[in-house]
Structure formats: C-alpha cells, structure tokens
A = this chain, B = another copy of it.
Amino acid sequence: MTIDTTQTLKPVAGGKDQPPADDWRLFKAEIKVNSAYAKALAGSALSDEERDMLVGALAQIEADFDAGDLTTAEADPRTFLDERLAEGAGDAAEKFFAARANAESDLTALRMWLLDEIERIVQAIADIQKALIQQAESHVGTLMPGYIHLQPAQPVSCAHWLLSYFWMLARDQDRLTAAIGRAGVSPLGSGLLAGSPHALDRRALATAMGFGEVTPNSIDAVSDLDFAAEFLFIAALIGAHLNRLASDLILYSNPTLGFVVIDADYISGVGENTTDTTIERARGQTGRLLGEMTGLLSALQALPGGYVADTHEARRTLYAAIDMLNALCETIEGALISLDIRPDRMLDALTERLLASDLTDYLVERGVKLREARQIVNRLLDQAETKNTTLGEMNLQDLQAHTPKFDSEVFVRLDYTRSAARHATIGGTAPAAIRAQLRQALDWLIEAGLE
C-alpha cells in the first residue's frame, strides 16, 4: 500500500468554489455505496465487528475528504478508497473486498452520482423556465412577427414566442423524470457476474442507498449503461432546444432587427474573444452534446457478449455532458433574465404581409374561391408595396376594383392587435389564450414540484 505524497490532491471541501474534478466527483458516492454494502453484508460475509470497522473507516475517510485533508496521486476514487480502507480496517477490508466486486461498486456509485446531477440539471432548467415566464408575463400584449423559415408569417405575441421554449423544456423535464426512474435501480449485489454468493437483502440495501428498485438479472446489471445513454440523449435534445433559443436571440439582437438587446456579459463584441458565458459559445456546445451521445451509443452497440461495464469511458462522457449542460443553462438563464425586449422595434417590423392569411380568410368567408382570394391579396400587397403605401391607407373603392366582395369591415381586419385576438383557440396567440397558457405553465411547474 504505497501512497505517493509528492503529488497533491487539491482540497475539495468548501463547496461551490472548488467542486471535485474528474473522477473525484464520484468519491462521496463510492463511500456511501461501500458503507451501505458493508452494513448489508454483516451477518453473512462480515461479522458485526468487521462491519463497524469498515463503516467507521469510511466515515473517517469522508471526514478527511470534506476537510480537504486527503492527498494522493491515485486517479481512480474507488482504488484510492480501497487503499485507505485497507489501511483503516485491516482484515475486515480483506473480507469485504472478497465479497464485493469492483464493477458492482463502481456502477452503483455512478448511478447514485448521476441521479444527483440530474436533479441539479432539473433545477437549472426550471430556472430557465421561470425566466421565460417572467419575461412572458410582461409581454403578453407585445406583438412581433412570427417567422416560418425566417420568412415573416403572422403577428404573434412576444409571450407566445417565449413560452414556446417553456414547453420544449417541459417535455425534456418529463424525459429527465422518467430517466431518473430508470437510473434509480440498484445493481449492488450482482457480484462479479453470477450474483452475490452471500445472504443479502438486496431490496433493503437499495432502499438504504435511496434507490427505488433492484436489478432483476446480475448479468444484465453489470453491463447496463443504458441509463447513461438515455441521459445523454436528453442532454442532446435539451442542447438542441437551447441552441434554437440562442439562435433566435442572436438573430433578434442583430441591429437591423433590434427586437432584443442582449446584455454585454452574454454576447461577444466584434473582434473580442467569446468567453464561457457568451451565447455564441453556448451554441457551439450543443453539437458536442450530440457527439457525446453518439459516442457512447456507438460504443454500447459494439460491446462483446458477456460484457462487464467498464465505467471509464461512460464516466468521462457524462462529466463532459454535465459540465456543458450546466454552463449552457447558466448562460441561457442569465441572458434571459437580463434580456432587454424592445416592443417598439418589434412593432416596427410588422407589415401588412403578416395579415395575408387573415385577409384571405376574410375573402373566403365572403365566398371568394381560395386560390382567387390568395391571388387578390398578393396582388394588393404587391401594389401597395410598389406605391409605397399600405392597404389601410387605400379607400374601399380601390379595394373593390379587385373584387366587389370587399366591404368596410376589411379595415377592421387590417389591425395587428385584432388579428392576434382572433387566434383564440387553446395554444393560440390571443391575449386570453396567452394568459391561460401562462397559468398552465405555472401549474406545470407546481405539479412538477419546481415552484
């Protein structure tokens, strides 16, 4: 048992300022798993005295770790733990190592740690959702162009646009909740491959560690990394959604549009470095989230029969994804909270072309054929554009020159606010529908226990 004391394990206690890096992130989970396992093996592989020695030694190691007193050159937390345990618990450790397989310990600790991380990401996404709601509440009546393939299509409420991202994230939250359920199954007690040879209450052990269920097949249990792949998929999907939001923000902040002003902390000036907090960098990371998932799934697919999971690569992939996702969430939340939305610029960008479908509806209601109605509307809009005027400034006679079906009610239709108000079904852009949607969003947060 040699411990190299020339290289220093950095103090990791003290919380947020300096969280554990690399595999040390798993250290506390390894301690918890091993402590619970030692207790569960008492009466079969271990005597009560041996159990007490192990549990005591583990508590001491955790205390030293929390105090920042540990030093080691060992990179693998479980190997390090075993070394310290051998020092601290002597023969009890020997018996414990004989009864416990490395893979079951590592896999259980990985699941336990990931469950914690997912909980944190759920909170971070909830923070983005709340920022969206907060901005949306102030902009129910703010109108802006709704785009289809970057072409202006219809006037929509700014709150409507913001809340569209709320619901994408709500679906992702649902997926994360389901993933938590599937990851929260304990493989401990699977032994090397064939199951544990010791009398062991696996269910009680799982409960003691905070898991909801136990794995039903030890061969499957020691090779299962599906929970990691599932989380990475959800991470990639969250990345895709936040990328779209970031793209909207960057586009809308373009001075020619000027719909929003992004706080200087979250966007880089021309010629400056992008930094970790900028929205541009956040965008670059979403591709990598997809890459991490592809990488793990490709590796899983190529696994040989009777594989026992080496968590090594999966761990690194998860660290990378979690760090990216946390940074991404923080940036997007910060950018949203500080976002300066400019209703005047949004209003400036509305043109009568956004009312084309309303006008077509108007004519079809009055018995004009759809195809003909579309042609009339387009012709009128083109004419107005050429003459540098608007339909609203034309008189009824000019309009009736195109079809006698026009009556004075058409001028009521040439109103952006009324257009929005007409789209009043569930999920529509009318103010009442938006307010109902806002309530639904808040209810969602409350039901999810996130508000």
Chain A interfacial positions (CB closer than 8 Å to B)? 76, 79, 91, 94-95, 97-99, 101-103, 146-156, 160-161, 163-168, 171, 174-175, 178, 182, 189-200, 202-203, 214-221, 223-224, 226, 229-230, 233, 236-237, 239-240, 243-244, 247-248, 250-257, 267-274, 280-281, 283-308, 310, 312-313, 316-317, 349, 351, 353, 356-358, 360-361, 364, 369-371, 373, 419-420, 422-430, 433, 437, 440-441
Contacts and interface: CB of A to CB of B under 8 A. Distances in A.
Given A98-B360, A254-B150, A430-B195, A288 B305 contact: no
Given A148-B308, A307-B148, A257 B255 contact: no
- In order of increasing CB-CB distance, the 7 nearest A-B pairs are A291-B295, A195-B428, A287-B299, A147-B306, A248-B305, A195-B423, A302-B302
A168 B284 contact: no
Contact of A163 (B217, B284, B293): B217
Contact of A301 (B103, B195, B302): B302
Contacts of A255: 151-152, 351, 353
Given A147-B306, A195-B423, A247-B304, A216 B182 contact: no
Contacts of A420: 194
Q: What is the copy number of this chain in the assembly?
A: 4
Contact of A299 (B223, B229, B288): B288
Contact of A270 (B151, B300, B305, B371): B151
Most chain B Cβ neighbours within 10 Å, of A99, A168, A423, A430: A423
A98 B95 CA distance: 64
Given A291-B294, A310-B280, A360-B98, A299 B286 contact: yes
Nearest to A243: B301
Nearest to A242: B301
Contact of A306 (B146, B223, B302, B307): B146
A254 B167 contact: no
A185 to B, nearest CB: 9
Given A216-B167, A218-B429, A292-B291, A150 B306 contact: yes
B298 A312 contact: no
A98 to B, nearest CB: 4
A427 B218 contact: yes
18 contacts: A98-B360, A98-B364, A148-B192, A149-B268, A149-B280, A150-B250, A163-B217, A164-B220, A167-B220, A175-B230, A192-B357, A194-B429, A195-B428, A196-B428, A216-B437, A289-B295, A291-B291, A291-B317
Contact of A373 (B98, B164, B427): B98
A247 B426 contact: no
B101 A271 contact: yes
Nearest to A300: B240
A154 B193 contact: yes
Nearest to A75: B276
Contacts of A197: 358, 361, 422-424
A434 B209 CA distance: 25
A146 B251 contact: no
Contacts of A373: 98
